[in-house]
Chains A and B, each alone.
Chain A
Amino acid sequence: MKQAELVRLNEVSLTYGSNGTRCEALRKINLSIGSGEHLAIVGKSGSGKSSLLNMITGIDHPSEGEVIVDGTTVHTMKEGPLALWRGRMAGIVFQFFQLIPTITILQNILLPMEFVGVIPKKERRERALSLLEQTGIFDHARKLPSELSGGEQQRAAIARALANDPPLIVADEPTGNLDSANAEIVLGIFRGLVDAGKTVVVVTHERNLGKEYSRVVSLKDGMIVGDEWSRP
């Protein structure tokens, strides 16, 4: 591994429900993600992909095991600091965009900056606009999310994920709801991010993974069953 380690999962297990309806979503996962990787997580539906992402972002806590991201032990953190840490460290892109519908696209991008406060006040607006520029929806800055197409909303969601310039971007089926043209735009943005030195982790059902990603991790029944490096 030539890059420095960014994410480290040690013996991570996640069990839903109690004895009666137990469901082991993740079983003793060991995974290390280096800085600058473009990682795809694949697997059948129900194999534990989303659960794994939730471990990395601290959206959910493991039942057992440790999660360490950039030296921070995520699994022991309290909600408040965790939220701040997440806002700074990890940009999340949801499958259904999840933009706040009552505020404009621009305000949606500004929101995480206000929450976390790492970007100086004076620079926020400019940064937000440049992110919109970068994702190609600058013209929609003053629109409400409902006035945008699905592909545009997804790009806005990516711009929001980048708001605090996090080193890690995590996306759960970001192209699942997009047509191929829009999907290509989104993938292009991610490629650009990796080129700029970010670490991007994507759950996907796409084909042609080898061309796109530097590494593909396959899950089955909550366990890692494959881990391929396509680009040295």
Chain B
Amino acid sequence: MKYQILKAWKDVTEGKGKSLLVIFALALGLWGLGSVAVSWSVLSRDLKGNFLGTSPVHAIFTLKEKDDSILDTLKARGEIESAEFRDLKMLRVEVYPDSWIPLWLFGVGDFENMALAKIVSESGAHKPSRGSILIERDGLLISALTISSVASVRNGARNIEVPVEGIVFDPALPPATQDHFIYAYTDMETFSTLSGAESGKRLIVRFRDVNSRSEVEAAVAKLMADSGSGGIANSTVEVRPFLEHPHQWQLDMLLAIIGIIGLLAFLLSSILVGQVVAALVAKQIRQIGILKAIGGTRARIAGIFSVYLLFYALISGLIAIPLAISTGYAFSYFCAGILNFNILTTSLPAEVFALLIVSALVLPFLFAFPTLIKAGRVSVREALGETPFRHRTRVTGRVVVTALATALGVAIFSSGFNLRQSLSNFLTSTGDSMRYDIQVVLTKPVPESEFLEPFESISGIERIEAWTGGRGELQTSLAGTDDGIGIVALPLDSRVMAMKMAQGHWFESASDPEVVLNQAAVELFHQPIIGQTLSVGIAGVSRQMKLVGIAEEIDRPKIYINDAFYDRWANPAHLVNTLMITARDGEYQGVMALKKEIERAVKASSLSVLDVMSQAERVKIIADHLNIILIALLLLAFLVLSVSALGMASATSITVMERTREIGVLRAIGATPRKIIKIFLMEGMATSGAGLILGLILSWPLSLAASVLFGAIMFGEGVVLRYAFSPAGFWITIAATAVFGFLASRIPAGGAIGLSTREALAYE
């Protein structure tokens, strides 16, 4: 045994370059695997932990009539665990001077004894005093609001100054930063004063002993059917997704992405380790032969190599495990920041440590297993035989593996570019189809002149178009909608709408009711055909309209119709609820300045505004968000590409090492150093070339899948981002692969001529 350890140690320390390569490769795999394991362990428990810690709501009832005894009635029922009032109304708040976003105002029944949908005080007051609010911490990141500042809140036509008294944490809500909302909490009385709405009609409820959404639904149905449940019987109800954070899917996505990265790192590292170990063992074949010749058994020889692998395992484990833990935590904190929850895990479960240690010890054996088996089998004759050079088969295997790794890197890299192209096409087409700059939306329709009046004196406005709309019921034999579909009624001669049509054309008839659907609506209507007549319930009456076109739009289902028909059917007074404004100065700065001016006019007016949005800001916000994702994606892809280049470099250097003596012979018979470098360079370039072609082919389905996936993540389920091919990305991918392929073979090939001819010839 002593000999074994000594030999192993010598092997580790002598071939320093190769040893570093093995350790690096092992550590890489372990690090990838480990950080994934750590962040999975932390994140999968902590988001749930945060969410469940709030005692999330099972169902929300909105009463038709106020009922003072309703809480007592509910609490007396055995199946109800807890019930509270939690009023909700959407107002507007000024987050920066003349910049307003929606404010979700919650009226809390009892701040002292919250039993469900609990919020946690982070700083300032636990309970706001009359007339003031607490705000959710994530909102601090998108506003100038803070403790003791006074928020300007607008409710309909009213401006109210509301002091902020404290900051709370509410991990059950979708993060404010993502949805661009401010969440605020106040008592029920203040709620009424601020919102002008009746308090005590919205009830949040948790049931006892329910294990799924369907059980909740059953309990809700039973409760509503019971005559003893007071006002609940004729309330409207919303059953929440069962015990799931609203953005759980985002976390799942992030976990899936890191899962893939971890797997890639693991794969590449196994390839690297396998190759290097194979090369190391091959170098020792002669020694194995000698050991066997002098009586070493197969087990004995496997033992020697095991000791040798154990050294690598220990060293790489010592490097990678702490690294994995810290990156795992770092990633967890990053996700927690994005999704607005707190990391609760302070110590990892024993299983995670066990997994890390076991994989550190087992991985090298797993990766080296085929080689060890081969080494054990080699016969003395073969090992000692007069075969100064090794055979080609393993070299070919290595080339294939390297080409595959390159293909993987290329595919991801090029898909990143294609996805970027898809998104930029999307942004351009949105900009092209929506030719307005600013949109002002009211909470309820008003006469056009009343709506226009406050903006008449603003000189920066070039054009204003007034639109209206409402909700309509879809009427098909196949599909029905619960709350209807958005109807947008706009002038026949609209100058701000020029949507790209997927099929057919925009409505153009002044005499016949024509309709245009967007793609999501087409989906909802079960793929109607152009020319078909659709029945749409508008204001309770079924109207027949001819489908003339399908518009390319990434949005919720929408129906576009001529406002002349809408007015005739549902809006005789021609009330409008939306203004589409184009700015004289269409540049970003000009539009933003105009928006502020409009906000000032809104503030001074009596208009009950729901929201003021600028197209530029919307596009910019989307573009900014996308850019972060895309830059991350490209970086990641670049990383994969460089790791595959690294794999190639290591493969080449192993080949060079193995063929050192051959190189010596080549030089002895007249090959110049340049020629020798050229041999390796050609091999390397051919490998990257094969990888490149394969990768580009692979990138096509990958880009397709990615555009579907990212469309769904960013714009909602079912929204498909169009696949686009990025010519720039194509050339950059080719150039990057060529450069990487060149470097990854040129540098190690340089090592081939580093030795003198004599040294090369004597190389064992």
Asked whether any CB of chain B lies closer than 8 Å to the CB of A197, the reply is no
B contact residues vs A (CB 8 Å cutoff): 386-392, 661-662, 665-675, 753, 756-758, 761
Can you list 22 A-B pairs with a CB-CB distance of less than 8 A?
Answer: A59-B757, A79-B667, A79-B753, A80-B672, A80-B673, A81-B672, A83-B675, A83-B757, A84-B672, A86-B669, A87-B671, A94-B761, A98-B388, A98-B665, A98-B761, A101-B387, A101-B391, A101-B392, A102-B391, A102-B392, A146-B387, A177-B386
Q: Which 9 A/B pairs are nearest by Cβ-Cβ distance?
A: A87-B670, A115-B670, A80-B672, A112-B669, A101-B389, A60-B758, A83-B672, A98-B665, A116-B670
Contact A96 B665 (CB under 8 A): no
Contact B669 A111 (CB under 8 A): yes
User: Which A85-115 residues sit within 8 Å CB-CB of chain B?
Assistant: 86-88, 92, 94, 96-98, 100-102, 111-112, 115
Q: Give the A interface residue count (CB, 8 A).
A: 32
Roughly how many angstroms separate A116 CA and B662 CA in the complex, as a whole number?
Answer: 17
Contact A115 B671 (CB under 8 A): yes
Chain A hits for B665, CB < 8 A: 94, 98, 100
When C-beta atoms are compared, the residue in chain B nearest to A87 turns out to be B670
- Supplied contacts A83-B673, A84-B672, 9 more A-B pairs, CB within 8 Å: A54-B758, A79-B672, A96-B388, A97-B388, A100-B666, A111-B666, A111-B669, A115-B666, A115-B669
Contact B670 A59 (CB under 8 A): no
Asked whether any CB of chain B lies closer than 8 Å to the CB of A150, the reply is yes
Contact A115 B675 (CB under 8 A): yes
Roughly how many angstroms separate A58 CA and B757 CA in the complex, as a whole number?
Answer: 9
Contact A83 B671 (CB under 8 A): yes
CB distance from A170 to the nearest CB of B (A): 10
Chain B hits for A92, CB < 8 A: 668-669
Roughly how many angstroms separate A177 CA and B391 CA in the complex, as a whole number?
Answer: 22
User: Which A148-162 residues sit within 8 Å CB-CB of chain B?
Assistant: 150, 160-161
Roughly how many angstroms separate A163 CA and B386 CA in the complex, as a whole number?
Answer: 24
Pick the most buried of A54, A163, A177: most chain B CB atoms within 10 A of its CB.
Answer: A54
When C-beta atoms are compared, the residue in chain B nearest to A177 turns out to be B386
Roughly how many angstroms separate A39 CA and B735 CA in the complex, as a whole number?
Answer: 56
CB distance from A2 to the nearest CB of B (A): 31
Asked whether any CB of chain B lies closer than 8 Å to the CB of A175, the reply is no
Chain A hits for B667, CB < 8 A: 79, 83, 86
Chain B hits for A116, CB < 8 A: 670
Roughly how many angstroms separate A100 CA and B667 CA in the complex, as a whole number?
Answer: 12
Contact A60 B756 (CB under 8 A): yes
Q: Which of B670, B674, B761 contacts A86 (CB 8 A)?
A: B670
A contact residues vs B (CB 8 Å cutoff): 54, 57-60, 79-81, 83-84, 86-88, 92, 94, 96-98, 100-102, 111-112, 115-116, 146, 150, 160-161, 163-164, 177
Contact B670 A112 (CB under 8 A): yes
Contact B386 A59 (CB under 8 A): no
Chain B hits for A80, CB < 8 A: 672-674
Roughly how many angstroms separate A96 CA and B388 CA in the complex, as a whole number?
Answer: 8
When C-beta atoms are compared, the residue in chain A nearest to B761 turns out to be A59
Roughly how many angstroms separate A80 CA and B672 CA in the complex, as a whole number?
Answer: 5
Contact A164 B670 (CB under 8 A): yes
Roughly how many angstroms separate A116 CA and B198 CA in the complex, as a whole number?
Answer: 98
Roughly how many angstroms separate A112 CA and B756 CA in the complex, as a whole number?
Answer: 19
CB distance from B762 to the nearest CB of A (A): 10
Contact B758 A59 (CB under 8 A): yes
Contact B669 A160 (CB under 8 A): yes
Pick the most buried of B666, B671, B674: most chain A CB atoms within 10 A of its CB.
Answer: B671
Contact A59 B388 (CB under 8 A): no
When C-beta atoms are compared, the residue in chain A nearest to B676 turns out to be A83
Chain A hits for B661, CB < 8 A: 98
When C-beta atoms are compared, the residue in chain B nearest to A164 turns out to be B670
Contact B670 A100 (CB under 8 A): no
Pick the most buried of B386, B662, B669: most chain A CB atoms within 10 A of its CB.
Answer: B669
Chain B hits for A146, CB < 8 A: 387
Q: Which of A59, A83, A94, A100 contacts B389 (CB 8 A)?
A: A100
Contact A150 B387 (CB under 8 A): no
Chain B hits for A54, CB < 8 A: 758
Chain B hits for A97, CB < 8 A: 386, 388
Chain B hits for A59, CB < 8 A: 668, 756-758, 761
Roughly how many angstroms separate A101 CA and B661 CA in the complex, as a whole number?
Answer: 12
Roughly how many angstroms separate A48 CA and B581 CA in the complex, as a whole number?
Answer: 96
Chain A hits for B672, CB < 8 A: 79-81, 83-84, 115
CB distance from B566 to the nearest CB of A (A): 80
CB distance from B168 to the nearest CB of A (A): 72
Chain B hits for A115, CB < 8 A: 666, 669-672, 675
CB distance from A203 to the nearest CB of B (A): 15
Pick the most buried of A59, A111, A112: most chain B CB atoms within 10 A of its CB.
Answer: A59
Contact A96 B386 (CB under 8 A): yes
Roughly how many angstroms separate A88 CA and B392 CA in the complex, as a whole number?
Answer: 29
When C-beta atoms are compared, the residue in chain B nearest to A111 turns out to be B669
Roughly how many angstroms separate A195 CA and B673 CA in the complex, as a whole number?
Answer: 35
Chain B hits for A101, CB < 8 A: 387-392
When C-beta atoms are compared, the residue in chain B nearest to A86 turns out to be B670
Contact A87 B389 (CB under 8 A): no
Q: Which of B666, B668, B671 contacts A57 (CB 8 A)?
A: B668
Chain A hits for B675, CB < 8 A: 83, 115
Roughly how many angstroms separate A58 CA and B388 CA in the complex, as a whole number?
Answer: 23
When C-beta atoms are compared, the residue in chain A nearest to B391 turns out to be A101
